Amino acid sequence: MIEVKNVSKSFGKQQVVDDISISFNAGEVVGLIGPSGTGKTTLIQCILGMEKIDGGQVTIQEHTMPNRKILSNIGYMAQNDALYNDLTGRENLTFFARIYMRDKEDIKKRVNLCSSMVQLDNDLDKKVEMYSGGMKRRLSLAISFLQNPNILILDEPTVGIDPKLRQTIWKDLTKAKAEDKCIIVTTHVLDEATRCDKLVLMNQGKILATGTPDEVKKQYHTDTIEGVFLNMEG
């Protein structure tokens, strides 16, 4: 579904993504993990066409990126919330839904469904400027689900979200996977990494390891994902 071939990206003299090749398939949750500043977010931006790559190629559903038409099939949640603080949660959701839908009833149903998924039903008519950081993350996540996309790319989706709701969100991601969606998640939450079907371990712009959580742990001679990080940095 997504093919990344020999992609590189630098900012000035700093190589942030270094000759990366990786594929992401339908029906799987892939976790991009690694220390902060290691190129995970930049790789995502290269995949989406938000950053112009220095070399290599990205194709999504056999279309070379960047491609505006393909973006309508992708639900993207950025690391930094891109919300209208002077609008309510409902108004934000409705605004973004109108990009993909025209029928008012369809928009209303989708807004209600996606807000319910992240348990924002009771706060939809509050202005976003009154939301906590965790509530803003939940609203951003709801927006990424609006068009029922084939591909979900979520950059740190559960930061600032309580453990109970985090479990609910992962149930929704598992359901989306069962619907044959391709899901890419960056995370610093180590127990979440074990929920992924495949891990991509990055450091200093390079991929150090790929595989199931158990395969990656075995490669680093440890029983935990935390041990993978410690051994990698050691």
Question: What is each CA distance from 152 to 22, 185, 218, in whole angstroms?
Answer: 17, 8, 28
Beta strands 182-186 and 151-155: pairing type?
parallel
pTM to 2 decimals?
0.91
Top pLDDT among 134 and 93 is at 93
CATH of 25-52+83-233, one of 3.40.50.300, 1.10.1370.30, 3.40.50.11540, 3.40.50.9100: 3.40.50.300
Output the pLDDT for position 189: 78
Output the pLDDT for position 94: 97
Average of per-residue pLDDT across 43-69:
96
Residue 40 in this model has a pLDDT that exceeds 90:
yes
What is the tens place of the pLDDT at every residue in 157-216?
A: 888 788 888 888 888 899 899 999 999 999 877 888 999 999 999 999 999 999 999 999
Residue 87 in this model has a pLDDT that exceeds 70:
yes
Average of per-residue pLDDT across 139-147:
94
Spans of all domains in the chain: 25-52+83-233
Average of per-residue pLDDT across 92-103:
94
Output the pLDDT for position 195: 93
Question: What is each CA distance from 54 to 11, 15, 22, in whole angstroms?
Answer: 10, 10, 17
